[in-house]
Structure formats: structure tokens, C-alpha cells
Amino acid sequence: MIRCLLLITVFFSLNLFSQKKDKRPNFLFILVDDQPFDAVGFSNRYPFLKTPNIDKLAKEGVNVENFFVTQSICSPSRASFLTGTYPHIHGVNQNNRYVDPDWENYAPYSVHLQNAGYQTAHVGKIHMAHKKGKNHIRPGFDYWFSFIGQGKYFDPPVNDNGNEYREKGYMTDILTRKTTTWLKELRDPNKPFSLNLWHKAVHQPFSPAPRHEGIFSNEELPTPPYDTHKETFKGKPDWQRKKTFGFDWKKNLPIPKELPEITWPPINKDKYMGLLESIIAVDESLGEVLRVLEEIGELENTVVIYTSDNGYFMGEHTFIDKRLAYENSIRIPMIIRYPKLITKNSVVTEQCLNIDLAPTILDLAGLNKPSYMQGDSMLKLLKGKKDKKWRKSMLFEYYVDTAYPYAGPNQVAVRTKNYKFIDNFLKNDIDELYDLVNDPGEMKNLINDDSFNDIENELRAESERLQKKYKYNPDRDWWLRKQIKK
């Protein structure tokens, strides 16, 4: 009898322990490709752009207003989200079909969650080394549905847990369906989960779902804030005037000291409208996945994260694409919903980075941050508290990609609340300094203004400090060469 009671007690103790473990938060990480930070309905940047589900997520969660990437292109940013490290650390500093991060020394947060009993799944774009079959599955995922490189919007080739075939339909809808199927049918309901939904959209060629194609064709494209479309590059580096999209100084033409203002709307207005139209299916996807989470009883216990892999120029400074150190390139949307911890309709104003997300997820899961992760947990900020130790400056880096003629040189940038300093590493050209308070559009380069010499010197010193702190490596190809030697 005593033995029987003892067994019953042990059983109930284990059951209670299991139930306690099951209360650890789930994670849904939605990553959009190339979504500008202000291309959301609630920003009112585009009055005709309605994103009810993104807007609702922000109302029910927190908007991290000043969220930035450490390098503004796809592969490096995605690897930084996963590993919590800078591109010069994890090794992916280009969109290179041959290179994956150093997973062995800088494991993605999914590995740590998996080891702690989480069930993990990745649905969508990974955009790193082009691997096939089982080799396409990255570390730390129990379920894998992805594709090589950029993938295709319509009837795309896919990799489903190592099996390759062509899936019929529109990519955003396919990824949504695979996500909801995993939630309802494939996951283990007795385990907490971490699920990535990483969209191909809204990357160019901008291809909205057929049901949304042309819905904004009769709308006017608003001029960018702070008149950044009137950029002439007067007082700015020569390389910007030389490489500005839409101009061609390839031959022996002298580089003018300033360029004429472009007319508005730009000639590529329709492309921009295609990007905005592509967001609508992403917003619908968010609504459907949240509906399924509620249906299966997991919505309130799931940390929902919505962001982009980098920013995107929508005509600001006459540029298209991203890569550069301007705000429109490095700043991204970041919305997090978790009602058990986060106050509804709240805002975080501190400077946060993509390398902060992995430590934050691990912190929320009750796990310690690995020593190699360079980011910091945002948990205290998400709770609405001030963190006196939080960074007052951030470091951005870029490694020139010769495949893109309008991209800039190697550079690092330091951003504080009030200023931004950009070191272009060019002997025969100038650097950049902007007053973000009085010139939020970054139109006036103050680098040659003697009244800002002290500010420049302070930021140069801060750049050196941050480079040392984060072990900055200016050699862009070190990791690629290491892989080739293998």
C-alpha cells in the first residue's frame, strides 16, 4: 500500500513537473524580406496601405521603434538573427551561394532551444549556402521546409525535410499553409515550440499575389519624409554621386559636385507599388497564423515576433535596394506580442539590434546566453523597464559587394541617439556625419563643418571602441577562404 502511494505521488510529481515545463513560452518568429520599417499601416507613411493584422499585433504588443540590423543585406542579417553575432564573427558577410555561418562555433539559438526540450521548425527562406537534399536542413530544426537562394514566387521548387519537389501556388500562401499545418497536425502538443515563418516576400522582383496585383495602381506614391527624394549629394562623398541608382558615370565623365533633383514620382514607381502590394498577402498570412494559434489554444503562451531582414529604400536619397548606412536601409520594423509579459500598445525607444533577438529568445525560455553571443537580451526593455546598462551607441558594418554597382564601399557606422558617423574607408574621399535630431533625413553632411569637430572626434573614438568590443574584422573573405581550404 505504501509502495503504491509512493508510486502515485511520484507519478503526480512528474506530471506536475511536465505541466510546468509545458508553460514555457512558444516562439513564432515571422521574418519578412526587405520590408521598410515604415511600410506598415499604423505608420501612415502610405495612406492607402492597410495592414490590419500587423497593426493589431502592435496594439496588442510592443513596437521597438529603433530596431536596426548590423549589416543590411539578407544572408548576413539572417545569420545574425540566428546566432546573435556580427557578420564578421559568424562569417556570412555577403549573399554568397557557397557560404554558411560557422554553425559549429556559433550555434543558432534553435540548437539551444532544441537541447532544452523545445520542438523546432523552420518554414521559409534561409538564403545562405545553396545546399540540396538533407544537407539543406540547418542545425537545430526538427522540421524543415525551405528553398534554395531567393526562391520563386510562383510554383516554387522547395525542400521539405530533404525531399525536393515543386509546390504549386503562390509562395506566401504556400508558406502560410505549411506553417498552419505544422501547428495543427505535425507538432507535439506536449512540448513548447519555436517556429520560424520566414517569407520570400517582399523581395524583388516584386510579385504580389494575383488577388492583390494592381490594387494600388491608381494611388499616388507619397514623397518620402524630410524631402529625401530631393537628394543632390552636395557635400557628400564622391562615391555616392558616382553610384547613385539611375546615373551612369562609367566612362571618363567627371563626377559633378551635385546632381539634379529627380522628378517625383520616380520612374520605378510601379516597382515600389508592387512591393507594397506584396505586403498585403504577408499581412493576411499573419492573421491566419494567429487565428490558428488561438484555435489550438497557444496564442496567449506564444511570443510572436514580426520583423524584416533589412530595410529598403523607397526612393529616399534616390536609392533603391538597401546596403548603405542610411536609416531607411538599416532600420527595420520590430513588433513583439506576449501578453503575459508585454503591456499592450507599448513602445521601446532604445537602440536595439538583430543580434539582440537570439539572447532575448533564450532569456524568455529561461536559458542562459552563450558566451559567444554579442547581443543583449531585451527582456527588461520589453517589460517596460529602463536598463541603465543598455547601449548608447551601435555599430553597423558593410562589406562591399561588387555584384551591385550602386552599392557603397566597405564601411562602418556609429549611431547614437543624436548623431551618426560613417567611416567609408576611402583615402581619396570624405566620410559622413549627420545630426539625427535636426536632420533626421540625413541630407546635410557635417563632416567638413569645423563646429562639429568635437562630435566627429568623439564618434571616431566610439567607433574604435565598438570595433574592439565586437572584434571587428575588415577582411571580408576570411571565412570563405577557410571553407575553400577544407
Structure confidence by residue, pLDDT tens digits, 120-135:
999 999 999 999 999 9
Gap between the Cα atoms of 54 and 335, Å rounded: 8
Whether 178 has a pLDDT exceeding 50, the answer reads yes
Gap between the Cα atoms of 124 and 114, Å rounded: 19
Set of cell numbers at residue 67: 530596431
3-class SS of residue 61: coil
User: pLDDT tens digit string along 212-237?
Assistant: 999 999 999 999 999 999 999 999 99
**Do the domain assignments include residue 244?**
yes
CB neighbours of residue 87 within 10 Å? 27
Query: Mean pLDDT, to the nearest integer, of 457-474?
Result: 97
- The pLDDT mean for the chain works out to 93
The count of structural domains within the chain is 1
User: pLDDT tens digit string along 430-446?
Assistant: 999 999 999 999 999 99
Query: Mean pLDDT, to the nearest integer, of 296-310?
Result: 98
**Do the domain assignments include residue 347?**
yes
Q: What is the pLDDT of residue 375?
A: 98
Query: Mean pLDDT, to the nearest integer, of 459-485?
Result: 91
pLDDT band with cut points at 50, 70 and 90 for residue 12: very low
DSSP code per residue over 395-458:
EEEE---TT-TTS--SEEEEEESSEEEEE---TTS--EEEETTT-TT--S--TT-GGGHHHHHH
CA 357 to chain centre: 10
Gap between the Cα atoms of 12 and 358, Å rounded: 34
Burial of 381 (0-12, 13-18, 19+ CB in 10 A): buried
Q: How large a percentage of the chain has pLDDT more than 70?
A: 92
**Do the domain assignments include residue 431?**
no
**Do the domain assignments include residue 443?**
no
Whether 239 has a pLDDT exceeding 50, the answer reads yes
CB 198 within 8 A of CB 123: yes
Least confident segment among 14-23, 163-172, 207-216, 262-271: 14-23
**Do the domain assignments include residue 427?**
no
Query: Mean pLDDT, to the nearest integer, of 435-459?
Result: 98
User: pLDDT tens digit string along 240-249?
Assistant: 887 765 455 5
User: pLDDT tens digit string along 61-74?
Assistant: 999 999 999 999 99
**Do the domain assignments include residue 446?**
no
Domain hosting 70: range is 24-386
Inter-axis angle of helices 171-181 and 269-295, nearest 10: 10
Cα torsion angle, 100, 105, 106, 112, sign = positive
Q: What is the pLDDT of residue 16?
A: 45
3-class SS of residue 479: helix
Least confident segment among 6-20, 158-172, 229-243, 394-408: 6-20
- The number of helix segments (H) and strand segments (E) in the chain equals 13, 19
Q: What is the pLDDT of residue 22?
A: 53
> Residue ranges of the alpha helices (H) in 84-210?
87-90, 109-115, 171-181
Inter-axis angle of helices 74-83 and 357-364, nearest 10: 30
Q: Which CATH number do you get for residue 318?
A: 3.40.720.10
Q: What is the pLDDT of residue 248?
A: 55
User: pLDDT tens digit string along 367-418?
Assistant: 999 999 999 999 999 999 999 999 999 999 999 876 666 677 899 999 999 9
CB neighbours of residue 8 within 10 Å? 10
pLDDT band with cut points at 50, 70 and 90 for residue 305: very high
Whether 1 has a pLDDT exceeding 70, the answer reads no
**Do the domain assignments include residue 337?**
yes
Q: What is the pLDDT of residue 481?
A: 85
Q: Write down how long the chain is.
A: 486
Sheet arrangement for strand 411-416? 393-398, 411-416, 419-423, 432-435
**Do the domain assignments include residue 42?**
yes
